[in-house]
Amino acid sequence: MNPPAATPSPLDGLIARLSALHPKRIDLGLERMQRLLEQLDHPERKLPPVIHVAGTNGKGSTIAYLRAILEAAGLRVHAYTSPYLVRINECFRLGGVLVSDDELRLALEHCERANAGAPITFFEAKTAAAFGLFAQHAADVLLLEVGLGGRLDSTNVIEAPLATVLAPISMDHTEFLGDTLTSIAAEKAAIIKRNVPVISAEQPVEAMAVIEAKANRTRAPLHAAGEGWHVGVERGRLVYQDDRGLMDLAAPKLFGRHQFDNAGLAIATLRAIETFKVSGAAFEAGIVNAEWPARMQRLSSGVLADQGPPGCEIWLDGGHNAEGGRVAAAALGDLEERVSRPLVIIAGMMANKDANAFLANFAGLTRHIIALQIPHQDNAMPPERLADAARGLGMRFEISESIEAALLALTRLAYEVPPRILITGSLYLAGHVLKINGTPPR
């Protein structure tokens, strides 16, 4: 859930006014949202059929696969995701296209008038605006991503979705969701609705116990990875199997072993919804063509692509918690097996994140960390804290004032083999990188 963008845009003044209506950026609860929706004549009751997606990691990638598969099947798809990387418009896709500034301004202004100055968070206002936009434009399905948690998230006002989806659950946002995996899972599993299919990725034992209990109480048919369906890698291809049969598909375009799991979750979701008839060709086209920026994204073009050492690889990943670090490290391990290169991590994080738990994932892959402070973010972690975490892990570290300066410093080192560089630690940092690289999401 992003604060206003740091650079001027036609929407900035409006966003600033809405953001000033509540003293906190995050204040979980449904009362304000329900009040505003009533003032707006309940657009959440006029939406296309909804697939509601929660989880800690992989929500956005799963939605990217769902959208690509459904569009390959010839369906019109809306999507609401967060956070954005460069422009707020990224949160809203109408029929696959990012909302225009003018459309978004009108939707937000409508919410502002209806709210009449009452306390409300910007995310709540943004979500209400999204519901208004999606209700006005016909579509076959709306892919709706939870912002934070689930139980008290602004999106959890949909009474009868087509399906609820739970991506992998792990420790994150403990200040809002509780400090145990059980409590976090309970918050996220609260999107499960009575008699509505719930499709779950493979989960830790504690999390799955919570999901199973909630599904049983609500009589929600549960389709769980490893039980109702299976996904794996065979000869570099994605192999999916459930009680309806087996599919042998091309590997996902998005890089990393975890993307096979995310793609499998999307496939399982669509196979569990009887109203959709998706062909094998559409499944494969969606898996191959899905795009989701800043998730192990190779920066092969743009302003930054040529600023590192000659011949280097530059990768960008917005992972920011221990599990996000784990899957990025696993993807780097796969790259190392294919082509061995020295690895350098350029990291910037937000102050409420666990730098030690995140960086520990890379301890066996590199001993070189460059720490920096994320620009234009008041709650960015001081690079000295990142450096302390790297020092505690026995890593060589240095502090840089910017991404450009970090890449320039690397050009001065003597490498026998051009290095592999991963820029990581935060979606805020990833958005900054995509902006200065000239390759924002489209």
Q: How do residues 237-267 score in pLDDT, each as one tens digit?
A: 999 999 999 999 999 999 999 999 999 999 9
Q: What is the mean pLDDT of residues 279-296?
A: 96
CATH number of domain containing 320: 3.90.190.20
**429 assigned to some structural domain:** yes
- pLDDT at 2 (0 to 100): 47
Number of H-type helices and E-type strands within the chain: 15, 17
pTM exceeds 0.85 for this model:
yes
Domain that holds residue 378: 297-437
- Asked if pLDDT for residue 234 goes beyond 90, the answer is yes
- Give kind and range of the element (H or E) at residue 366: none
Q: pLDDT grade, residue 412 (50/70/90)?
A: very high
Pair (232, 320) in one structural domain: no
Q: How big is the CA angle at 230 (ends 194 and 52), to the nearest 5 degrees?
A: 35
- pLDDT at 5 (0 to 100): 42
Which residue among 254, 289, 324 closes a domain?
289
Which residue among 289, 319, 338 closes a domain?
289
Pair (307, 413) in one structural domain: yes
When the pLDDT of each residue in the chain is averaged and rounded to a whole number, the result is 95
For residue 82, give the 3-state DSSP assignment: coil
Q: Which residue bears the tokens 């960086």? A: 359
Q: pLDDT grade, residue 4 (50/70/90)?
A: very low
**1 assigned to some structural domain:** no
For residue 326, give the 3-state DSSP assignment: helix
CB atoms within 10 A of CB 359: 27
Pair (100, 63) in one structural domain: yes
The pairing of strands 245-249 and 237-242 is antiparallel
What is the sign, positive or negative, of the torsion defined by CA atoms of 73, 79, 83, 85?
positive
Residue pair 121/27 in contact (Cβ under 8 Å)? The answer is yes
**278 assigned to some structural domain:** yes
**5 assigned to some structural domain:** no
The percent of residues in the chain predicted with pLDDT above 90, rounded, is: 94
Pair (301, 285) in one structural domain: no
Q: Which residue bears the tokens 């049969």? A: 245
Pair (232, 267) in one structural domain: yes
- pLDDT at 367 (0 to 100): 85
* Domain count across the chain: 2
Q: pLDDT grade, residue 274 (50/70/90)?
A: confident
**Residue among 326, 336, 397, 334 nearest 362 (CA):** 326
Q: What is the mean pLDDT of residues 277-281?
A: 94
- Asked if pLDDT for residue 1 goes beyond 50, the answer is no
Q: How big is the CA angle at 410 (ends 409 and 416), to the nearest 5 degrees?
A: 145
